[in-house]
Structure 1
């Protein structure tokens, strides 16, 4: 389980390196579990890259 404001490491090639969870759509509480969709904001990215919007 992860909660709001948890820092995550990105595992894709979008250019983002660190993400912070800012919301869990469809849930009233502040926790997300395996398989949940979460809203994140990019907190760290490649210095020479552009973060792609998915």
Structure 2
């Protein structure tokens, strides 16, 4: 298992495919994330595992 969610998992979690909309959704959910050099949100699996 990876330390980070993959792009498909982030899309499923947020219900969004566009990176800016994913970031908005993560912010609204109160989930911690970082933005990588390509502008995509990066979420650890620990952040969503309860």
TM range, normalised to the smaller chain? under 0.3
Q: TM-score under structure 1 normalisation?
A: 0.22
Structure having the larger proportion of residues in strand: 1
Larger radius of gyration: 1
